[in-house]
A and B are shown apart, each in its own frame.
Chain A
Amino acid sequence: MEIKKVNLDRQNLSSSYIEKKQDFNHVLKSAKMTKIPTWKSPWFYGAVGLSTVAIVAVVLTENNFKNETNDNTATLKVNKKETEESKSKKPSSTIEKKTTAVNSIVAVYNPKKNTSSFGEKAKSNLIEKDFSSEESLSSFIEPIKIIETSAEIAIESKPLPKTISIGQPSIAGIASGIINIEALKNTSIIESNSSFEITSYEIQYFNGQQDITAVIRSNKIPENIKEQIIENNLNEMIFITGIKGVDENGKIRKLPSINLKLSK
């Protein structure tokens, strides 16, 4: 910077003159006018932006974690049953029964080997559900094969199933909404609108005494479950969730749920 001018003996201003020029109110007013509002300041945007990103990240991570936990639990169940089945080396059927109560019951039923107390308990549950007849068990023979397939995938640590929008499963062509008794009676399988083969699903219904969540390892709807639904769930919602299917490449996929209301 250059010095432009040098003054010698410029007239001095008196203190009283300078004092007269003081105007604190003007300074105060101007300061208020020029003050940047908090929401306009850069640090505000920085802080708010960071917080938003952090919240979104936490929510997304939380959701992913929940999904992964659910999928991992399902895979573990499949692995556990596979191990037990391979030990028995005999054809067996697997039924998981859960209630809406806090302590859910997971029963593994082997019709020819049920000496353990766990087996006894499972047997009693199955008698109650009338699963002991050869006819109803036959519908579970096929699912056992599918379990083996899914178990293999779990052992090989292949990627977990992903939710997809295609392959909407349905019962008698109905994926959501009202289904009448006749249509349900005449249908024995859950089918997909694409080339997916349904391998397992969870069905939630009322059996007359309590809410039941049955895990079915098949694309078939067991006759006794169908009967219980028809008997006790008129005008009630039936939820079929956790539907998994195998695509053309043999990969397990999570498919959209089916929500039906039973009507006459």
Chain B
Amino acid sequence: MTVNPMYHQTNQRMEEELSWIRRAQKDPESFGPLYKKYHEQIFRYIYQRMDDEEQAFDITSQVFMKALNNLHKYEYRGVPFSSWLYRIAKSELYQSFRDRKAERTVNIESYQLFEMIDEIEEDNSEMNKKQLFASLAKLKEKDMQLIEMRFFEKRSFKEMGEILEITENNAKVKTFRAIEKLKQLFNTKS
């Protein structure tokens, strides 16, 4: 499985990013490079979980607004700046679901379904594909979130842990349990 290349950065890149943050903490207009670098990532993270494109752009703008307003509170902890942005994005996204401004949606590509079928050790047939699609729709949101991050967005357990504010091991365990639940739902159906 490939991992998100934007997340894993060299030390040099991390230092460069930190200097941008320091500058932006003094002058908000210096936040530009960070906005440019992370806008697409954050937008895709949000749009992956909802249906409305315009609303996804709005929420993305809100995420960066909040980040700018709270940048003075940001502390570097040896992880990319994106994990902090993802946490804000997650919070904004779930707030919009609570406010019923948006609906929680899951977006899957066909090839991702086939990858999932391999993961649950089933035959790669068209029928199983439909079966899995139906099972995914029945999965609870917290389990769906883990499967989404791990299999559809190709995130490492470390990154998942940083976004969800849990340890890497915990992310691993929780993802394994989510797959088990999906297997159960798949087998119940069949």
Contact = CB atoms under 8 A, between A and B. Distances in A.
Contacts of A30: 61, 65
A116 B98 CA distance: 93
B141 A1 contact: yes
A1 B97 contact: yes
Contacts of B110: 8-9
Given A15-B40, A24-B32, A4 B103 contact: yes
Given A3-B106, A4-B104, A22 B35 contact: yes
A3 B105 contact: yes
Contacts of B103: 4-5
A1 B31 contact: no
Contacts of A10: 107
B6 to A, nearest CB: 12
Interface in B16-63: 28-29, 31-32, 35-36, 39-40, 43-44, 47, 51, 53, 57, 61
A27 interface: yes
Given A7-B108, A23-B61, A2 B29 contact: no
B136 interface: yes
Q: Is the interface of B mostly helix, strand, loop or mixed?
A: helix
B109 interface: yes
Interface in B91-123: 94, 97, 103-110, 113
Interface residues on A, range: 20 to 34
B108 A28 contact: no
Contact of A18 (B40, B104, B107, B109): B40
B43 A7 contact: no
Contacts of A103: none
Contact of B107 (A7, A22, A27, A28): A7
A9 B109 contact: yes
A28 B69 contact: no
B32 A8 contact: no
Contact of A28 (B43, B44, B68, B139): B68
Interface string A4-36: 111111100101001101111011101110110
Nearest to A19: B40
Interface residues on B, range: 35 or more
Given A1-B104, A3-B104, A3-B106, A31 B36 contact: no
B186 interface: no
A146 B14 CA distance: 85
A53 B159 CA distance: 47
A24 B24 CA distance: 13
A171 B43 CA distance: 88
A7 B65 contact: no
A31 B28 contact: yes
A6 B133 contact: yes
Contacts of B64: 27, 31
B105 A27 contact: no
Contact of B141 (A2, A6, A27): A2
B28 A5 contact: no
Contacts of A15: 40
Contacts of B36: 22, 24
B144 interface: yes
Contacts of A13: 47, 53
A4 to B, nearest CB: 4
Interface in B132-156: 133, 136-137, 139, 141, 144
B32 to A, nearest CB: 5
11 contacts: A1-B94, A3-B105, A5-B106, A6-B137, A8-B133, A13-B47, A22-B36, A24-B32, A27-B68, A30-B65, A32-B28
Interface of A: 1-10, 13, 15, 18-19, 21-24, 26-28, 30-32, 34-35
8 A-B pairs closest in CB distance: A31-B68, A4-B103, A5-B105, A1-B141, A6-B137, A31-B65, A6-B106, A7-B107
Given A15-B40, A18-B43, 7 more contacts: A1-B104, A7-B51, A7-B106, A23-B61, A27-B65, A31-B65, A34-B65
